[in-house]
Amino acid sequence: MECKDLVQYLSDYIDNNLDEALTREAQEHLATCENCRVVLDTTQQTIFLYREQGKRVIPAARRKRLFNQLKSSFLNTDKQDS
């Protein structure tokens, strides 16, 4: 298995939806490829953080303040690009 193949199957690998042969190939590749291990780890951490984030609620006042700050920043960026 090559890096491009692992990336193609990464979601199914994480979800344990690959057949035994592809799982074995992915594990063998991960054992020798640091870059793919980093991609796998980062993807798994991102999924974890996304799931954890969904459990948190931003208070309405804070959410409005953040939205206004983002809006202001985007508007200022657009003016600078003109």
Helices 3-14 and 34-53, packing angle to 10 deg? 30
User: Does the global pTM surpass 0.85?
Assistant: no
Q: Where are the domains of the chain?
A: 3-81
> Which phi-psi region, left, alpha or beta, contains residue 58 (left: φ > 0; alpha: ψ -120 to 50)?
beta
- For tokens 């200022």, what's the residue? 76
Q: What is the pLDDT of residues 42-56, one digit of tens each?
A: 999 999 888 887 777
Q: Over 90: is that where the pLDDT of 35 sits?
A: yes
